[in-house]
A and B are shown apart, each in its own frame.
Chain A
Amino acid sequence: MSLELEELYQEVILDHSRRPRNFGELAKTDVLVHGDNPACGDEIHLGVQFGTNDTLQDIKFSGHGCAISRASASMMTTKLKGKSRREATEILRAFQGLVTGEGTEQSKQLGDLRLFQGVRKFPQRVKCAMLAWRAVEQALAQTPGEATVSTETGLSNP
């Protein structure tokens, strides 16, 4: 097994991909975001229920995808549950920096999510890791309701 593979598919990541946490649908959803990665057909449906003091009180996801996208969604929901909008946004930025290699010192607050650093060496897999995060980014910017988001930005049909 190559070192790069072991770094990409860390045991914790594989565990989350096999047994994703917070997988399913929320009983009560404030925001529901449908995300997709048209390059590979992966889909995520991310539901967020906001609490009274603007926290992400509950968060769940469903859909299908590769091990990286599933583990990323599972670990993301675990991490963000109970966080404030501001904290969630900070973690989102830090995670984005981590997987694209443009990260700074902020990566400390990521905890286990730092295991996704191996994705950097696989540029084609960055979108897999980012799919759930693009969905939560949309959820944070969203007033209650539904939205769609794609890993391919700037889509237009003139």
Chain B
Amino acid sequence: MHQIAGERADWNRIREDFPILQQQVHGSPLIYFDNAATSQKPRVVLDALRHYYENDNANAHRGLHELSSRATEAYEKARRRVADYLGAGSAEEIIFTRGTTESINLVAHAWGGKFVQASDVILLTEMEHHSNLVPWQLLAARTGARLRFLPVNEDGALAHSQLDSLLTSEVKLFAFTHVSNSLGTINPVADLCRRARAVGATTLVDAAQSAGHLPVNVQELGCDFLAFSGHKMCGPTGIGALYGRAEILDSMPPWHGGGEMIVSVTLEKSAFKKPPHRFEAGTPNIGDAIGLAAAIDYIEQIGRPAIFEHDAHLTAYAMERLAALPGMRLLGPSGERGAIVGFVMDAAHPHDLTTFADQHGLAMRGGHHCNQPLMRRFGLPGTTRASFYFYNTTGEIDRMVDILRTAARFFT
């Protein structure tokens, strides 16, 4: 862990913590600008996974033996670590899932199945990732509830002036993203939650793009549910969590049934455990939960305010340099934003640009970014997206600009 205690992180030395970054791709040094899709993993996370499987691996919560005790303890310790990281009132408010998508589906089924009725409205925004849209479409189809959408302005911000007319007493749930994965917009979560509460609506925050990048405290935000993925914040794939306010989780029936989530079972019926275990059927993903806890430790050593500041520095620099390229259109807000820059260039289609960039060692994403309705709203088939994390540098951004300039010449 390369950091000067009590002072600013040594960003260049932090790169050494990430073995994957020390490689050439297609003959050029790798520039990894696809962090909104998934982040890279520091050695401490890889070591934690290896340590667990080499020393403590067993099934949690059931074996009366030493390894099972260790696995159980490490898994529940990881839950406490997540609770602490999110500022949750207790570890019982944290359910481990495969990630943001599964967390949202859990709410749509267990909470939505019980509480959402045909007369209800589910309020979403136009900037939602498909993972915070499709589960609600399916719930609406099951229940007859209506979907309603808060529009996005041309500058990439939500149309807050329309909120009062949309966030009415019919709204049962208001689900929205913290940071847009295409536009980089940071939504005012605390304010949105406060206004939802005022009309009696339950809130769900998609924190996939924020949990590893800026301070996220569920009590300060005042949300009822919050979902995130470990793999976008230095953790392994296949692990994430759902925060749910204790009294709401208590009121929810199980989603998946199976082992681990029951108190007693007869052939006819079962009694279920209290949250969070009620919502974790089957053998949990113990190893990756431990990996996620290691990722949180790593991020907290650097500090989320420092990461946010570094993100902001990189993003502002990238926006300034990209804006100077000919035929460039940048999407999203010009002020404060997440470490995501979506753009289109007159010279080339996003797929041609990303193929071209990849051949120069630069990993970006081209396409609709699981945001098809948002792309339609901006009249675009897709964009090219560069997304940063704390191990990226302004030198890499300079290199990106050179590559894009070469690409523009190549395709026109």
Q: Is chain B found bound to chain A in the same assembly? A: yes
The verdict on A2 contacting chain B, using a C-beta distance below 8 Å, is yes
In the bound complex, CA of A83 to CA of B260 (Å): 66
Question: Given A18-B412, A64-B381, A41 and B355 touching (CB < 8 A)?
Answer: no
Q: Contact residue range for chain A?
A: 20 to 34
Binds B, one of A3-11, A21-29, A53-61: A3-11
The verdict on A68 contacting chain B, using a C-beta distance below 8 Å, is yes
How many chain B residues touch A (CB < 8 A): the figure is 22
Whether the Cβ atoms of B352 and A42 lie closer than 8 Å is no
Inside 8 A of A9's CB, which chain B residues have their CB? Answer: 352, 410-411
Which residue of A has the minimal Cβ distance to B28? A2
Inside 8 A of B375's CB, which chain A residues have their CB? Answer: 41
List 4 tightest A-B contacts by C-beta distance, closest first. A41-B381, A66-B349, A66-B351, A2-B359
Question: Given A4-B359, A40-B366, A67 and B349 touching (CB < 8 A)?
Answer: yes
Whether the Cβ atoms of A8 and B355 lie closer than 8 Å is yes
Inside 8 A of A65's CB, which chain B residues have their CB? Answer: 349, 381
Whether the Cβ atoms of B355 and A40 lie closer than 8 Å is no
The verdict on A128 contacting chain B, using a C-beta distance below 8 Å, is yes
In the bound complex, CA of A2 to CA of B366 (Å): 20
Consensus secondary structure, chain A interface = mixed
In the bound complex, CA of A38 to CA of B370 (Å): 11
In the bound complex, CA of A42 to CA of B244 (Å): 40
Inside 8 A of A128's CB, which chain B residues have their CB? Answer: 351
In the bound complex, CA of A8 to CA of B356 (Å): 10
Inside 8 A of B26's CB, which chain A residues have their CB? Answer: 2, 4
Taking A2-B359, A65-B349, A68-B351 as given, write out 4 further A-B residue pairs in contact, using a Cβ cutoff of 8 Å, ordered by the A residue number.
Answer: A1-B410, A5-B359, A40-B366, A67-B411
Whether the Cβ atoms of B350 and A40 lie closer than 8 Å is yes
The verdict on B27 contacting chain A, using a C-beta distance below 8 Å, is yes
Whether the Cβ atoms of A41 and B411 lie closer than 8 Å is no
The verdict on B393 contacting chain A, using a C-beta distance below 8 Å, is no
Whether the Cβ atoms of A40 and B351 lie closer than 8 Å is yes
Most chain A CB inside 10 Å of its own CB: which residue of B348, B355, B410 = B355
CB distance from A4 to the nearest CB of B (A): 6
Which residue of B has the minimal Cβ distance to A65? B349
Inside 8 A of B349's CB, which chain A residues have their CB? Answer: 65-67
In the bound complex, CA of A122 to CA of B27 (Å): 17
